[in-house]
Structure formats: structure tokens, C-alpha cells
């Protein structure tokens, strides 16, 4: 990772760590870079946060100034950008979103001509322009690019989603749209498939995205499920590339449950390549034990759907994802897609006649506690002898009935300490054994 670009693009507080001039330079670089082999066409989407239109304008102006034609998709899910890049043969794509972060943050995600996360070498070259080390030429005369309204193209993505789904007549579904990108696609898609919907958090105003709602705060959706008579509930994040489901009793169905349910269904049909599901190191120990019982193997990657997809692509694996709800179906997509994942879960429910609760009931999730510790230097913390010794001591105590994971955040000055154990009390004891050691190292913020 570079100084600015992390595992999922560049992210920061709008007009503080992420500024308009950076957006303009990103646009200028991409327009010039992809214009070397012909006239560049760049697709830009955005979420609903207040600053997204500002960054969209800066990116578009920069790219057009370098000679690219820019197509503005408007408010849309991140996966729709990835899909349309491939279908409509764009030079590259950009999504303006900070995903599940609060409204005052924003981010810029870059996609290659294949609809995949951008090559790190390109991101490194863009970073060089931030410091003035690389001068980019301006297009002049007729070479200046155009900026084109492309909102209607979102229907191509919605049509594709419907083609991959099944008839949902008779299903009663609750949705939490997080006041984010899902407002552009979820209701229309599910209603056209015949579902009856109850929708909450579907009125974005620029500052309410992810605020006490969505995949990171699904409590209101859970309560709605407990009080009503719904077959399933679905909560999206700000840019709708991840999904947290809720069963008929209000229980959370996170990414681990989804991987288990879908992995079993694909294996039963003989469609699970090498009987493997790809997870990150954050997947719950209970998922691996449940996989073993049904003959499914797992491959672990670093945290980030980018790394999950790299493993899937290299080996042809069918499905992979993250506990947070990023699920990738290799046959169909190159990135996570919350709505597509919801449609696949609904298809399995229809085909089996089983509820979400029943489909996931054989999976026991070990209690887990994650604590984020702000630090001055992430690498220093991860190589501190005292901290390493405490980690080893906890690992010895847990044995085969739990695990500990200490890792740096990919986007923030944090060390994340996670413990899984048989009880919540053990999780708390062992997590704070490590956290207290980090805090006593004189390296915390």
C-alpha cells in the first residue's frame, strides 16, 4: 500500500485528508494514462454523501482536461460501476464513496478496464502527482474531453440482476438501505421480481448515510423483523457492495453465515470448485469447523475483498468473501455486491423451501471481541517484543478452542485486536491482555 491508497482506494475526511485537488489530479492522471492507447472513456459513480458530488465534479474535470470522455452514472452501487466497465468497455472506472464510514468521510475507489481493483502500480504513479513530482499535460482544442450524463445506464445493471435472480412472488422482505447507494437499485429490482417490501432508511439527505442504520447498525432492521412477519431482512452499507442479512427471528446473518449457506448450496449442486470457499483471516473459527463437517475446505487471505478476489481469480474458486458482508461470486463478478448476494440467498430459500434461520442453524459462531487501538506507528506495534510475547501467551491458552488475531487497519492509524473463544468472558480477558500491553508501549495516540 502507498501513503494515500489503501486496500480499497483512497479514503479520508472530505476537504481535510481527502481534498478536491487530489480528486482533480486522480482524474487528470487517469485521463492521460488511459489516453496513451487511444481515446479514453472513464465511468464515474458516487454514493449519497454530501461531498460526493464535489469529488465527482473534480474527478470529471481532471479527466476531461486530460482528454478523456467522462460518463457520470450518478448515485449507484459500487458493483454497478465494475459491471458496466466490462459490459460497455470503458477504459477504467471510479467510485466516489467511503463505504460504511460516516458522511464526513469520503473515498475514491479505482477500477481497471476489467472491472477489477486498480493495479497498485497505477495508484503509486497517481500518488506521485500529489507531491508535484510528475507533470501532466493538458489536452487542448478538440482533444479536450466531454462530460456526459449516463444515469440511464444503471438500468443495464438492474436488468442483469433480474436475469440472475428467481421469481420472488409471495416473499415479504424488509430492507435497510442505509440512506446510501442501494436507494438507486434495491427497491426497483426486488419489486420487479415480485417481492413485497418494507423499506427503512431510504431518504438520503447527504449527512444521514450510515447514521444508526445499514450493515454496521442493523438494530432497527432486527427489531422490525422481530415485530413483523417477514421472510428475510437485508441491510446494505453506504455504497451497497456489502450485505448483512437478518433472519425471520431478527438474528444477524453476517458474511460468515452467508458463505456457509451459499457454500453448502453450491457444493450440493456440484458447483463449488475444489469444494473450496475463500475467506479472510477474520472469518470466525466456527465457520471453519462447520465447513469441515460438510466437506468444504477453506483458503484464507489478508483482510480486504481485493485479496479474496485475487485468490479466487488465481485458482478459479467459486465463492469467497468477508465476515463484514463482502461476498464475491466469481462466475458473475469481480467485486462484492450486496444486492446480488441478497438475490442469491433468496434463490436458495426458494429452491430449498427453508428459512434463513434453518439454513444457517448448524453453524455455531464463537464469541468474538474486536478492539481497535489508536497507535502512532502500526508497524512498530506489530513488532514490539512485549506485545509479541503477550500474543504468544494468549495463543497458548486458547489452543484449538479459540484464536487471536492482531493486525493493522488498512485505512486508519489503528491496530485491531480480535479474540475468539468459547465464552464472552474469555474473549474480554484475552483481548484486554493484549490491548493493555499495547497501551503501555508509549506508542498510542
CA distance 380 to 405: 16
CA distance 420 to 365: 9
Query: Shortest CA distance to 181 belongs to which of 80, 76, 260?
Result: 76
Three cell numbers written together for 131:
507531491
Q: Is 99 annotated as a binding residue?
A: yes
> Which helix H or strand E contains 6, and what residues bound it?
strand 5-6
For cell 430492507, name the residue. Answer: 175
CA distance 312 to 316: 5
Q: Respond yes or no: is residue 57 known to be catalytic.
A: no
For cell 470503458, name the residue. Answer: 90
Maximal CA-CA distance, the chain? 70
Phi, psi of 130 (to 5 degrees): -65, -30
DSSP code at position 39: -
Query: Shortest CA distance to 72 belongs to which of 8, 156, 152, 14?
Result: 152
List the beta strands (DSSP E) in 104-156: 105-111, 147-149
Q: Is 237 annotated as a binding residue?
A: yes
Three cell numbers written together for 303:
483482510
Q: Among 51, 99, 181, 311, which one carries the catalytic annotation?
A: 99
Query: Shortest CA distance to 443 belongs to which of 380, 387, 385?
Result: 380
DSSP three-state, residue 177: coil
Kind of pairing between the strands at 276-280 and 319-321: parallel
Cβ distance 176 to 200 under 8 Å?
A: yes
Query: Shortest CA distance to 175 belongs to which of 199, 206, 147?
Result: 199
Q: What does the DSSP assignment read for 269-310?
A: TT-SGGGEEEEETTS-HHHHHHHHHTT-EEEEE-SSHHHHHH
* Residues placed in the known binding site for Mg(2+): 99, 237, 239, 241
Name the residues annotated as catalytic: 99
Amino acid at each position: 500500500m502507498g501513503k494515500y491508497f489503501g486496500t480499497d482506494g483512497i479514503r479520508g475526511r472530505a476537504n481535510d485528508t481527502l481534498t478536491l485537488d487530489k480528486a482533480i489530479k486522480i482524474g487528470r492522471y487517469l485521463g492521460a494514462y488511459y489516453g496513451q492507447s487511444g481515446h479514453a472513456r472513464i465511468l464515474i459513480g458516487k454514493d449519497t454523501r454530501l461531498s460526493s458530488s464535489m469529488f465527482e465534479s473534480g474527478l470529471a474535470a481532471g479527466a476531461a482536461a486530460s482528454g478523456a470522455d467522462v460518463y457520470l452514472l450518478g448515485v449507484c452501487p459500487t458493483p454497478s460501476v465494475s459491471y458496466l466497465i466490462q459490459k460497455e468497455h470503458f477504459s477504467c472506472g471510479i467510485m466516489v464513496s467511503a463505504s460504511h464510514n460516516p458522511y464526513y468521510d469520503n473515498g475514491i475507489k479505482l477500477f481497471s478496464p476489467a472491472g477489477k481493483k486498480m493495479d497498485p502500480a497505477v495508484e503509486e504513479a497517481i500518488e506521485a502527482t500529489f507531491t508535484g513530482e510528475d507533470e501532466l499535460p493538458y489536452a487542448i482544442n478538440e482533444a479536450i474531453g466531454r462530460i456526459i450524463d449516463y444515469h440511464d445506464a444503471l438500468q443495464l445493471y438492474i436488468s442483469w440482476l433480474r436475469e440472475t435472480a428467481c421469481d420472488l412472488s409471495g416473499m415479504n422482505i424488509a430492507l435497510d438501505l442505509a440512506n446510501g447507494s442501494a436507494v438507486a437499485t434495491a427497491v426497483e429490482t426486488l419489486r420487479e421480481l415480485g417481492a413485497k417490501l418494507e423499506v427503512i432508511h431510504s431518504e438520503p439527505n447527504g449527512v444521514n448515510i450510515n447514521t444508526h442504520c445499514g450493515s454496521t447498525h442493523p438494530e432497527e432492521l432486527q427489531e422490525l423483523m422481530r415485530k413483523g412477519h417477514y421472510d428475510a431482512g437485508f441491510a446494505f452499507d453506504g455504497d451497497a457492495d456489502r450485505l448483512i442479512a437478518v433472519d425471520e427471528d431478527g438474528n444477524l446473518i453476517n458474511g460468515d453465515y452467508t458463505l456457509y449457506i451459499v457454500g453448502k448450496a453450491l457444493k450440493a449442486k456440484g458447483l463449488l470448485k475444489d469444494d473450496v470457499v475463500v475467506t479472510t483471516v477474520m472469518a470466525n473459527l466456527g465457520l471453519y469447523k462447520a465447513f469441515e463437517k460438510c466437506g468444504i475446505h477453506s483458503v484464507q487471505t489478508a483482510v480486504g475483498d481485493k485479496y479474496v478476489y485475487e485468490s479466487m481469480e488465481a485458482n478459479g474458486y467459486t465463492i469467497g468473501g468477508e465476515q463484514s458482508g463482502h461476498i464475491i461470486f466469481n462466475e458473475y463478478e469481480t467485486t462484492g455486491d450486496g444486492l446480488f448476494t441478497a438475490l442469491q440467498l433468496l434463490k436458495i430459500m426458494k429452491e430449498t423451501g427453508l428459512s434463513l434461520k434453518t439454513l444457517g442453524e448448524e453453524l455455531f459462531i464463537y464469541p468474538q471481541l474486536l478492539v481497535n487501538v489508536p497507535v502512532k506507528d502500526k508497524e512498530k506495534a506489530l513488532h514490539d517484543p512485549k506485545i509479541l510475547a503477550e500474543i504468544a501467551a494468549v495463543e497458548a491458552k486458547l489452543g484449538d478452542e479459540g484464536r487471536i488475531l492482531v493486525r493493522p487497519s488498512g485505512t486508519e492509524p489503528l491496530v485491531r485486536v480480535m479474540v475468539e473463544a468459547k465464552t464472552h468472558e474469555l474473549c474480554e480477558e484475552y483481548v484486554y491482555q493484549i490491548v493493555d500491553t499495547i497501551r503501555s508501549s508509549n506508542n498510542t495516540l
